[in-house]
Structure 1
Amino acid sequence: MIEEPLQLSIKILDKEYRIACEFHEQDDLKASARLLDGRMREIRQTGRVIGTDRIAVMAALNIAHDLIQVQRARSGPEGELTRRLHQLQERVNHALAGDEDDEQAHQSEPETPVQSSLDASRERV
């Protein structure tokens, strides 16, 4: 049986919108509407931006900026840690396999500061 999307009514700046969404997405849609409504009200209260369209654009830009900041924070040190762990795992696998050719090839590659030998004082989690 195919479920049809339900029509959800949300209010943003006292204006009602009917939005189609899947049943399992309705809580996220409501939370998104509350977030947007709150941001738009904050911007309207400053009195520096006039007009619903402009307020909506400013709110969208602020939310997009917040999202980009969160994405950068996630890809920063954690992304580096994941890459370093992958390198270490490859080294361990080569050592356990006794693969001398790969180990010699690895040793002949110029090491970058990130690939230098392990120093426990520099490791962070």
Structure 2
Amino acid sequence: MSDSSRPTIEITLLDRQYVIACPPDEESKLERAARYLDRAMQGIHAQGKVVDREKVAIMAALNIANELLETQDEQRAGEQSLSELNQRLEKALSDAPGR
């Protein structure tokens, strides 16, 4: 498929339009991600400390990456807790009288 025939979608980030190649079945995910990124960029831009679009995008990307890593850490901790509880339950069941 040539570049000119690839499906695209238009997104808006910090009041600027971008045309992005995107398979039709992924459009809603891309639109959702673009809205999330745009809100993050708007928030940084609204503070007035960072004006350059590239720097705003980098700060937003760093903030989102930090959110992702914190969420992954919380998920791993939750999985570890579940694993420990499962081991305690299995031990309690195996130590139960009548087994």
User: TM-score under structure 1 normalisation?
Assistant: 0.62
Once residues 5 and 89 of structure 1 are traced to their aligned partners in structure 2, the CA distance between those partners, rounded to angstroms, is: 54
Once residues 26 and 79 of structure 1 are traced to their aligned partners in structure 2, the CA distance between those partners, rounded to angstroms, is: 35
Query: RMSD over aligned Cα, in angstroms?
Result: 2.5
User: TM-score under structure 2 normalisation?
Assistant: 0.76
Moved over 2 A (4+): 77-80, 82-90
- Distance verdict in 2 for CA 1:83–1:6, change over 3 Å: farther
Q: Which runs of 5+ in 2 are unaligned?
A: none
SS in 2 for 1:76: helix
Q: Identity across aligned pairs (percent)?
A: 33
- TM-fit CA distance, 1:85: 2.4
- TM-fit CA distance, 1:37: 0.8
Match of 1:102 in 2: none
The Cα offsets for residues 47-67 of structure 1, whole Å up to 9 and x where unpaired, read as 111211110000000111111
Structure with the greater alpha carbon radius of gyration: 1
Once residues 11 and 32 of structure 1 are traced to their aligned partners in structure 2, the CA distance between those partners, rounded to angstroms, is: 11
Match of 1:63 in 2: 64
Q: Does 2:3 correspond to 1:9?
A: no
Q: Which runs of 5+ in 1 are unaligned?
A: 96-116, 118-125
- TM-fit CA distance, 1:46: 0.4
Once residues 5 and 24 of structure 1 are traced to their aligned partners in structure 2, the CA distance between those partners, rounded to angstroms, is: 13
Superposition map of 1:1-125 within 5 A: 5-82=6-83, 84-85=85-86
Contact 1:36 1:59 in 2 (8 A): yes
